[in-house]
Structure 1
Amino acid sequence: MTAAQQQDIGKFVVIEGLEGAGKSSAVALVKALLTSHTGHEPVCTREPGGTPLAERIRDLVKIADPQDPLCDEAECLLIYAARAQLIANVIKPALQRGEWVLGDRHNLSSLAYQGGGRGLMPLVNTLSQACLQGFKPDLTLYLDIEPSLGLTRAANRGALDRIEQQALAFFERARETYLQLASQDSSILVIDASQSLEAVHHDIKQALAARLVGC
């Protein structure tokens, strides 16, 4: 493959983390860095969501209905339905056009939240294999934070959604799963999100710069 051909291939970069880890500011930073690196703004997505249908699914997942509580299995299925739509209609077409894609969450979230947090790892693995068929990000930046600190930060932003209202133990299990998976996959880089915003952004810049060499 020639250098010119290599430049025409899009890459998929994802920001992951628990509530309060600072994903929004990290996404804004990485978007600016990728724009500077490639000369074009990346296609930005979020999960669940990112397409008109997937955004409607997001509302079902995020908004609590006391009259019809969402069971764990239904939550998992809905999230994969939204992900399948996003991959098919946004992410893969953008990559095929040679564009870079920047995602606010992807499959690692399901492995951590529904797999680790909910205890549904067999279902998550089955859905991952069926819906993704090996598709994965080229790079994931996981913003690691102790759950109690992250939830305090999230609460200071305003009202918590249905997921953010889960018990602390849920997020502790999710974090443990995140870290375990990151230790097994070199495409997942762990960033200490408990630091100051300046320090976190410095680490993100350093990590991204090292991985962007040759891309």
Structure 2
Amino acid sequence: MFISFEGIDGSGKSTQARVLAESLRARGLDVVLTREPGGSPGAEEIRRLVLEGDPDRWSAQTEILLFTAARRDHLERVIEPALAAGKVVICDRFADSTRMYQGLSRGDLRALVDQLHSLMIAREPDLTILIDIDPAVGLARAKGRQGSEERFEDFGLGLQQKMRAGFLDLAREFAPRFAVIDGARTSEIIAQDVLETALAKL
């Protein structure tokens, strides 16, 4: 089974992905926890290119190509082999993030994202868990991390608000595989909801 986590920056999705992996392992399941962009050596190199540096470093079109290349390598080297071996794959972000951050953020490029996805990836998660949170809260959390990978956070609150609305639209568009989880509660309560959602799908 392939589970992805989505959400705006600072939503807590990375924490929840890790907690779910630990919970499923405790139940005897073989789990691979990975992330995008990245997850394989080649994709991690591309991650550094797209997440660091000036916000205007790349055009949205170039980013789409870079993210798709990273995703293809990740799919070939990590995701598909793990699924073929009967493992549960939990991925912190997948194609829905590209649909939002590149397809929506700086122009209407969603059709281009979907076209490349169809040609080069052609796989969707079995379950996508969207951690929904107020954009101002998420951005404050994300900026508080003070890491080097803040290129998208540097676009500001307006982008985060647009992304939240876009993710909720995606959840409606792909309703059968999406579960929207309220991220405004304690981490423990969110984790319980996430676990129950995953177990029901499993």
Residues 31 and 41, structure 1, Cα contact 8 Å, conserved in 2: no
- The code of the aligned residue for 1:142 comes to L
Residues 118 and 170, structure 1, Cα contact 8 Å, conserved in 2: no
In the alignment, which residue of structure 2 is the partner of 1:8? none
SS at match of 1:116: coil
In the alignment, which residue of structure 2 is the partner of 1:49? 38
Matched, 1:87 2:87: no
Question: Could you report, residue by residue, the CA deviation over 1:103-141 in whole angstroms, capped at 9, with x for unpaired residues?
Answer: 0110111112111223321211111111122x1111111
Question: Could you report, residue by residue, the CA deviation over 1:123-175 in whole angstroms, capped at 9, with x for unpaired residues?
Answer: 11111111122x11111111011211100111222246111211322222221
- Give distance in 2, aligned partners of 1:209 and 1:162: 35
Number of equivalenced pairs? 199
Q: Point out the structure with max Rg over C-alpha.
A: 1
In the alignment, which residue of structure 2 is the partner of 1:130? 119
In the alignment, which residue of structure 1 is the partner of 2:134? 146
- Give distance in 1, aligned partners of 2:68 and 2:178: 21
Q: 2:24 aligns with which of 29, 34, 38?
A: 34
In the alignment, which residue of structure 2 is the partner of 1:103? 91
- Give distance in 2, aligned partners of 1:91 and 1:196: 30
Normalising by structure 2, we get a TM-score of 0.91
- Give distance in 2, aligned partners of 1:205 and 1:154: 24
Residues 21 and 150, structure 1, Cα contact 8 Å, conserved in 2: yes
Residues 139 and 160, structure 2, Cα contact 8 Å, conserved in 1: no
Residues 117 and 171, structure 1, Cα contact 8 Å, conserved in 2: no
In the alignment, which residue of structure 2 is the partner of 1:18? 8
In the alignment, which residue of structure 2 is the partner of 1:165? 154
Q: Any gaps of 5 or more consecutive residues in structure 1?
A: 1-10
Matched, 1:63 2:58: no
**Equivalent residues in 2 for 1:195-206 (5 A)?**
195-206=185-196
Residues 76 and 114, structure 1, Cα contact 8 Å, conserved in 2: yes
Residues 144 and 192, structure 1, Cα contact 8 Å, conserved in 2: yes
Residues 2 and 88, structure 2, Cα contact 8 Å, conserved in 1: yes
Residue identity over aligned pairs, in percent, reads 39
**Equivalent residues in 2 for 1:105-120 (5 A)?**
105-119=93-107, 120=109
- Give distance in 1, aligned partners of 2:58 and 2:103: 16
Residues 20 and 191, structure 2, Cα contact 8 Å, conserved in 1: no
Offset of residue 49 of structure 1: 0.5
- The code of the aligned residue for 1:169 comes to G
Deviates more, 1:194-203 or 1:82-91: 194-203
Q: Any gaps of 5 or more consecutive residues in structure 2?
A: none
SS at match of 1:115: coil
- Give distance in 2, aligned partners of 1:162 and 1:192: 26
Deviates more, 1:136-145 or 1:202-211: 202-211
- The code of the aligned residue for 1:62 comes to L
- The code of the aligned residue for 1:172 comes to Q
Offset of residue 176 of structure 1: 1.4
- The code of the aligned residue for 2:126 comes to D
- Give distance in 2, aligned partners of 1:149 and 1:35: 31
Matched, 1:207 2:197: yes
In the alignment, which residue of structure 1 is the partner of 2:166? 177
Offset of residue 41 of structure 1: 3.6
- Give distance in 2, aligned partners of 1:110 and 1:101: 19
